[in-house]
Chains A and B, each alone.
Chain A
């Protein structure tokens, strides 16, 4: 039997123990979803490089690892001091902290919010059999053809639940902090976030993934974001997992008419990282912007798969992903744009630019356009390059040292994405992360 298959059976057997631990909750509505998901996972198994969607990303080095899914409260919770450095000081942010996927109330802080806004734990909302949650949870992010999403859905327990009612403008960002303790046991956590922005509402959500140790663990997360008509949502994902972690994430965005969604996805951590974003423009005049920045060093593999589904006419999408690869790291960018037959007057632009800083670093970049309408504007471009010698010489000739000149130029390259981030505190954090990482 293949290791990957053994491993599949391991998760299925862990699901059975999980189920037993649920007691009465096993009769809840969500549990039928979990059961369907584990059944589907058992059929799919983990992908290999023979799968087109995983052609450039070989997960076999993790296939033999039996990560233990977190199914109950951890005996040890980190103290406030341990997570202090991951917070944003700018006052007034709501903060939801999850430790190994489970809500940590003592590390969370929710200031007074406009009436009927909910910023809290998904487990809590499920316990209360919240109708809106059932209407949306696991209804958008598809797991039929995505084994990791199926596995994540099977072990779905907790994560952020954010609900913004119609017409409400949430002035300050919500920070959702996912902390992995990286305990000796190799844990798998399956954080599940659900963000619902009602018609004419506005919100900004920062999702960050951090680690307290440099151990091996597995984060397999799914975030569903639902935008009502005219809703405006900015979503920042800051991935700073441990350098030995496996991180797989799916962000699914469902957009109604004239809604506007912006995603800034920044990946720095992890040994093997796969970020999937699927945005469905399911109403006329919707607009979607996906920006991304990834920096790989050592032997990191960072894979960004994006898919924008233009399902209705007059929608626009803009995409800019930039990668910086050092050491023997590997980057993958796969940008799919689907324009459905009905989606006339689509305006889609995709750009992927990469900087290769060492001989051992590689990048696979692949635009994938599937266009079924005939009156559309779709452009895509990909570049792979090195630092410009002329520019380095110019900077050095003014007294700037070689290392600093290189950092200035790499920083300038990244700056094109950083400056698009709407939250100043996140931009500042990115400045700091980049400077720390590049000065190493």
Chain B
């Protein structure tokens, strides 16, 4: 039987008084990969940020259940400990905080929450080396300050590396594919495919169909003006690639007008 990982019910959210999400409904089952596509300003990133718990976004209505629990009532760190991971569209540079040091603190907080023993320095180092290889990340980057002086591609790879270490139940990737060259894109896609399993779910927020050549989604949703206007299988992505978003926008406006 299908098991529900995430359920979004009529979610409304605003930033500085502007309503961005205008009633999102989405069900993601365990083991599924969903792609959320849409034009600029449609609310894709806002959705990802709201799921991760960014405080500058104001949820004005609706509900989000993560494995049946009220996600919106949780602090960002509690969401991470419950198994949610968001790969940032723009990973933050944090001078002075070592990449591996902070990740060890995060991983051990998550392990503790799950009733697992904390990893010691040696065990963690072993894990780090293994996962760094897996995302082809230069080991010299590991002990550098978080994202500090990293290239765009290195930052995105670092997100996937962190995801590989933290092994989330649900990964939300916010335009992780944007701005990547084809080699980096393959590595990122590889990372996602390796995480993908019967136990995990992935939400790919993307502007381009390109990533979906490497990570084949089970479902594709199109977000326009804060609402999901169309859902379908992977073939919807090809249709979007061919026709763009305008036909959906127009259709949507018509529906609005007649409603």
Q: Which residues of A contact B (CB under 8 A)?
A: 388-391, 393-402, 404-405, 408-409, 411-413, 415-416
Contact = CB atoms under 8 A, between A and B. Distances in A.
Given A394-B88, A394-B91, A408-B105, A400 B96 contact: no
Contacts, number: 81
Interface in B145-174: 145-146, 162, 166
Contacts of A405: 77
Contact of B76 (A396, A408, A409, A412): A396
A402 B75 contact: yes
A391 to B, nearest CB: 5
Given A411-B96, A412-B94, 11 more contacts: A389-B56, A390-B92, A393-B54, A398-B103, A400-B77, A401-B109, A402-B77, A408-B102, A409-B94, A412-B95, A412-B97
B96 A393 contact: no
Contact of A395 (B79, B94, B107): B94
B191 interface: no
Contacts of B55: 389, 393
B80 A398 contact: yes
Most buried by A among B55, B80, B94: B94
Given A401-B109, A404-B105, A408-B105, A396 B80 contact: yes
Contact of B106 (A389, A390, A391, A398): A398
B97 A409 contact: yes
A401 B77 contact: yes
Most buried by B among A388, A400, A409, A416: A400
Most buried by B among A389, A404, A408: A408
28 contacts: A388-B92, A389-B55, A389-B56, A390-B92, A393-B53, A394-B88, A394-B92, A394-B146, A395-B106, A396-B53, A397-B53, A397-B77, A398-B80, A398-B103, A399-B77, A399-B105, A399-B166, A400-B102, A402-B75, A402-B77, A404-B105, A405-B77, A409-B96, A411-B96, A411-B97, A412-B96, A412-B97, A413-B96
Interface in B83-125: 85-86, 88, 91-92, 94-97, 101-103, 105-107, 109-110, 113
B102 A397 contact: no
A409 B166 CA distance: 21
Interface residues of B, number: 33
Contacts of B88: 394, 397
A409 B54 CA distance: 18
Nearest to A412: B96
Instruction: Say what secondary structure dominates the interface of chain A.
Output: helix
A20 to B, nearest CB: 56
Contact of B77 (A389, A396, A412): A396
B195 interface: no
A408 B109 CA distance: 14
Contacts of B86: 397
8 residue pairs, one from A and one from B, having the closest CB atoms: A412-B96, A398-B106, A399-B106, A399-B80, A396-B76, A394-B92, A399-B109, A399-B110
Contacts of B77: 396-397, 399-402, 405
Nearest to B113: A399
Contacts of A391: 92, 94, 97
Nearest to B86: A397
A396 B94 contact: no
A134 B92 CA distance: 58
A404 B103 CA distance: 12
B153 to A, nearest CB: 18
A387 to B, nearest CB: 11
B81 interface: yes
B96 A415 contact: yes
Most buried by A among B77, B107, B110, B145: B77
B209 to A, nearest CB: 27
B99 to A, nearest CB: 11
B91 A399 contact: no
Contacts of A396: 53, 75-77, 80
B35 to A, nearest CB: 21
Contacts of B185: none
Nearest to A414: B96
Given A404-B105, A408-B105, A397 B76 contact: yes
Contacts of B53: 393, 396-397
